[in-house]
Structure 1
Amino acid sequence: MLFFKLLIILLSTKLAGDLSVRLGQPSVLGKLMVGIIIGPALLGWIKDSESIEQLSEIGVLLLMFIAGLETDIKELNRNRRSSVAVAIGGIILPLLGGYLAGKALGISDTSALFLGLLLSATSVSITVQTLRDMGKLQSKESITILGAAIVDDILVVVLLAILMSFTGASDVNIGWIIGQKIAFFLLAIFLGWKVVPMLMRWLVSLRVSEAVISTGLIICFGFAYFSEKMGVAGIIGAFIAGIAIAQTPYKQEVEQKLEPIAYSIFVPVFFVSIGLSVTFKGLENQIGLILGLTLLAVITKLIGSGLGARLTGFPLPSSISIGAGMISRGEVALIIAALGLEKGLLAPQFYTTMIIVVILTTLITPPFLKKVF
């Protein structure tokens, strides 16, 4: 059955991507849409499964690993002030907007705060692919978006831990959570600076086939595993691994050999898997709520992150582009929503609604980015 699923996924994503480009849109938009079409929402040819989820997770890790390989670390460091401002602005407004929306819906203060945190999350995997399609991944705006996404992920996780500690949904010590994040980045920087170059030189000398790309993947998955163990999203670890390898003489070979592996199977499965979460059953009476929350999610992130960019020296058009790049909530928000449902912070009747909102922000991002860039 897995082989049939892969056949349908690969064929449909290639055709949908081509059609999207012919219509003047980034190819990633068609690939996202086709997941909804062939998934449970419409045709029902493909249903989510453990095997699809695992292939999808590899896909998003490789996508962010490639983004790291293509990122200029000097430019990333040069824009760190803007990245922090963009991340903070992109958290404050969605958090406030989500809280007020929650209170208007009549839910408790705790659930309203969780709704705000859910809307504060950002996942730039779709943004990365869109910018890559447009040849803009190495622009100053793109570098700022990538840096802001890292800061956003850390801040949202810390705020979520604080909220859960106050509600009794978790007994984790806040100091420990913050200490973990600091330790992760200190260790990741050290490993990327000192250990990765040594490891690359040692492993590529082994008399085996494809030693360079195998070593790159070992480092990618190693960093992703380490980041998840430290309470940070695996995509952040994969991105940092890409940056580390980009500082070695093996960058070009790793990138050239990795792209066929990633884009031939794993990345298409990731795009489709997002659409597989969508179902329209029982949502007839919630269309207004879905559209309202989606509009809130888009506007608060666009203005909040855009304002952070504007205050740190970006011109208005660039600020809008950066704000647009932070709109997609993607897989990060899906994970937070599932956690909220499990811990009782998100009411079951709002779970599917929020999943649809997350998917819509992800679908909006590619054409919006193309327009503003």
Structure 2
Amino acid sequence: MLIVQLAAILFAAKIAGDISVRLGQPAVLGKLLIGIVLGPSVLGIVQDTDILKEISQIGVILLMFIAGLETDIDQFKRTGKAATYVGVLGIVVPLALGYAAGVAIGLSMEKAVFLGLLLSATSVSISVQALKEMDQLKSKEGSAILGAAVIDDILVIIALAFLMSLTGSDVHLGAVILKKIIFFAVAILLAWKAVPVVLRLFAPLRVSESVISAALIICFVFAYFAEIAGVAAIIGAYIAGLAVSFTSYKQEVFEKIETIGYSIFVPVFFTSIGVAVEFSGALKHIWLMIGLSGLAVLTKLVGAALGAKLAGFSWNSSFAVGAGMVSRGEVALIIAGIGLETKLLTPDLFAVLVVVVLVTTIVTPPLLKAIFKGKQATEQAA
């Protein structure tokens, strides 16, 4: 039953998160790992059902909405140059080396390019949680990571649409780009003009938590239309959070949405990542899995760090930004699903890449913590 699985997830996630913190790691790492233990790969207590995926999707949407609420917009503006450089170089390096790896293992040109694009994707939902736990989400590094993630998402999806149009799929590059331009133009206009009005209209209603309901409506509507436009739903939720952060309701919304999210939906999201993992297909290609995992971590870490360094960050800060971009998360899984459907990935390579995505996700929290700890030690010594 779903309620039993939810009870198991919440209990295990909180205990595993606490153990992770006691061992000096972010709580999110424990939640990710306990998902593997609970899932079909180990104990089989929790199954990767459609309804669990939907609850998980709400969790990541609320997580990014909260990140938008917490964003320091002045810091965000100051890191715009860094976000651009990080977003671009964080794609170029993984794309080039991923393509080379694809050619090396015998893939055709189109399939090798697809592999490079998949390794170029970034999902910062895991990084957001790790940064929150370290109180670094509002730092210049945190702002650069969030900005770069938006740029990364747009560029990777456009590049993917271009590749699909060349391989004969029914995809029109001009339409893809136009949809994204329309989405961002409309989203910015609504964030500026409509969001404050909606919250003010809901505030005097004689029902409980009307403002919080209004904020959730805004969040889900932005996420939905982002998904329709081919932009990740988490980007739409993040923009909605930014919009609400400019209103006088920011603190009330933040406190109550955080309670809603972290009491059930966000833990389910983190744990379900591990639950979804299936090792059987990947273990037949263990060396390929190890090689691509190492490549995925290093290319994004180095590429994004070089972008931050070119923007004037110190090396310590640059590698902190690079670490925050390592996780491929649900964005790469969506791209992998497209590859399997269009025969650009074989079932075995798909299984390998799912594990690669999991590895990048698990590596990100401790990597971020280690780099920030080193950065702080260097600053104190200076």
TM-score range, shorter chain: over 0.9
Which deviations, in whole Å up to 9, do the C-alpha atoms of 1:33-65 show, x marking residues without a partner? 000011011111111001100000000000000
Give the distance between the partners of 1:280 and 1:65, measured in 2 at CA.
32
Which deviations, in whole Å up to 9, do the C-alpha atoms of 1:61-113 show, x marking residues without a partner? 00000000000122212211110110100000100111111111101111100
Q: Residue type of the partner of 2:75?
A: E
Which deviations, in whole Å up to 9, do the C-alpha atoms of 1:126-172 show, x marking residues without a partner? 00000001111100000000000000000000000000000012x22
Give the distance between the partners of 2:283 and 2:69, measured in 1 at CA.
44
Does 2:189 correspond to 1:193?
Answer: no
- What is the Cα deviation at residue 278 of structure 1? 1.4
Which deviations, in whole Å up to 9, do the C-alpha atoms of 1:230-288 show, x marking residues without a partner? 11110000000000000000000001111111011100110111112212224443111
Q: Residue type of the partner of 2:29?
A: L
Which residue does the alignment assign to 1:89? 89
Give the distance between the partners of 2:215 and 2:281, measured in 1 at CA.
46
- What is the Cα deviation at residue 337 of structure 1? 0.4
1:169-318 equivalences in 2 (<5 Å) = 169=169, 171-318=170-317
Structure 1: gaps spanning 5 or more residues? none
Q: Confirm or deny: 8 A CA contact 2:281 2:348 kept in the other structure.
A: no
Secondary structure of 2:280's counterpart equals coil
Q: TM-score, normalised by structure 2?
A: 0.96
Secondary structure of 1:339's counterpart equals helix
Which residue does the alignment assign to 1:65? 65
Which of 204-213 and 236-245 deviates more?
204-213
1:19-38 equivalences in 2 (<5 Å) = 19-38=19-38
Give the distance between the partners of 2:7 and 2:230, measured in 1 at CA.
35
Which residue does the alignment assign to 1:338? 337
Which residue does the alignment assign to 2:377? none
Give the distance between the partners of 1:31 and 1:158, measured in 2 at CA.
33
Give the distance between the partners of 1:182 and 1:282, measured in 2 at CA.
39
Structure 2: gaps spanning 5 or more residues? 373-382
Which of 96-105 and 275-284 deviates more?
275-284
Q: Residue type of the partner of 2:221?
A: G
Which residue does the alignment assign to 2:367? 368
Give the distance between the partners of 1:338 and 1:271, measured in 2 at CA.
20
Q: Confirm or deny: 8 A CA contact 2:183 2:229 kept in the other structure.
A: yes
Does 2:166 correspond to 1:160?
Answer: no
Q: Confirm or deny: 8 A CA contact 2:98 2:113 kept in the other structure.
A: yes
Q: Stretches of 4+ moved more than 4 A in 1?
A: none
Which of 68-77 and 135-144 deviates more?
68-77
Give the distance between the partners of 1:342 and 1:283, measured in 2 at CA.
18
Q: Confirm or deny: 8 A CA contact 1:83 1:148 kept in the other structure.
A: yes
Q: Confirm or deny: 8 A CA contact 1:117 1:156 kept in the other structure.
A: yes
Which residue does the alignment assign to 2:15? 15
- What is the Cα deviation at residue 176 of structure 1? 1.4
Q: Residue type of the partner of 1:50?
A: D
Q: Residue type of the partner of 2:184?
A: F
Which residue does the alignment assign to 1:111? 111
Q: TM-score, normalised by structure 1?
A: 0.98
Q: Confirm or deny: 8 A CA contact 1:277 1:355 kept in the other structure.
A: no
Q: Confirm or deny: 8 A CA contact 2:63 2:266 kept in the other structure.
A: yes
Secondary structure of 2:29's counterpart equals helix
Does 2:349 correspond to 1:350?
Answer: yes
1:114-125 equivalences in 2 (<5 Å) = 114-125=114-125
The two structures, once aligned, show a CA RMSD in angstroms of: 0.8
Q: Residue type of the partner of 2:40?
A: P
Q: Residue type of the partner of 1:100?
A: A
Which residue does the alignment assign to 2:378? none
Identity %: 58
Which residue does the alignment assign to 2:49? 49
Q: Confirm or deny: 8 A CA contact 1:219 1:241 kept in the other structure.
A: yes
Secondary structure of 1:313's counterpart equals coil
